[in-house]
Amino acid sequence: MSQQKPGAKRPSLSSPSTGTLGAAVAVVALVLGFLILRDVRGDGGAATVPVGTADPSGVTVAPGGSVDPAAPTTLAPFSINGFKIQVANASGLAGSAGDMTTKLQDQGYVVQVAMNVAAGTAKRAKTGVFYLAGCEAASQNVAAVLGGNVEVAAMPQPIPVETGSVGEACILVLLGTDLANKPLAGVVGGGSGAAATTTTVAG
Cα–Cα distance, 144 to 185 (Å, whole number): 9
55: amino acid identity, one letter: D
Cα–Cα distance, 90 to 110 (Å, whole number): 20
Cα–Cα distance, 126 to 134 (Å, whole number): 24
Is pLDDT at 112 greater than 80 in this prediction?
yes
Is pLDDT at 108 greater than 70 in this prediction?
yes
Cα separations in angstroms, 168 against 39, 68, 74, 82, 99 = 54, 42, 31, 11, 20
Mean pLDDT of 173-181: 97
Report field, pTM of the whole predicted structure over 0.75: no
- What is the per-residue pLDDT across 149-168, written as a single tens digit (0 to 9) for each? 999 999 999 999 999 999 99
Lowest mean pLDDT among 13-22, 36-45, 120-129: 36-45
The percentage of residues in the chain with a pLDDT greater than 70, rounded to a whole number, is 61
Is pLDDT at 75 greater than 50 in this prediction?
no
Within its chain, how far is the Cα of 111 from the centroid?
Answer: 25
Cα–Cα distance, 101 to 114 (Å, whole number): 6
pLDDT at 16: 52
Lowest mean pLDDT among 46-50, 184-188, 198-202: 198-202
Q: Which comes out higher in pLDDT, residue 181 or 197?
A: 181
Cα–Cα distance, 68 to 115 (Å, whole number): 51
Cα separations in angstroms, 101 against 37, 104, 113, 139, 173 = 61, 5, 7, 15, 10
Q: Which comes out higher in pLDDT, residue 21 or 181?
A: 181
DSSP-assigned letters across all residues of 90-119: -S--TTHHHHHHHHHHHTT-EEPPPEEBPT
Q: Where do the DSSP E strands lie in 71-192?
A: 84-89, 110-111, 115-116, 128-131, 151-154, 171-175, 187-191
Least Cα distance to 64 among 72, 77, 75, 53 occurs for: 53
pLDDT at 32: 75
The percentage of residues in the chain with a pLDDT greater than 90, rounded to a whole number, is 51
What confidence tier does 24 reach under pLDDT thresholds 50, 70, 90? confident
Instruction: Kindly report the number of other CB atoms within 10 A of residue 97's CB atom.
Output: 24
The CATH-assigned architecture of domain 84-198 is: 2-Layer Sandwich (3.30)
Cis peptide leading into residue 158 (ω within 30°): yes
Map residue 130 onto helix, strand or coil. strand
Cα–Cα distance, 84 to 167 (Å, whole number): 9
Work out the mean pLDDT of the chain and round it to a whole number. 77
- What is the per-residue pLDDT across 80-92, written as a single tens digit (0 to 9) for each? 889 999 999 999 9
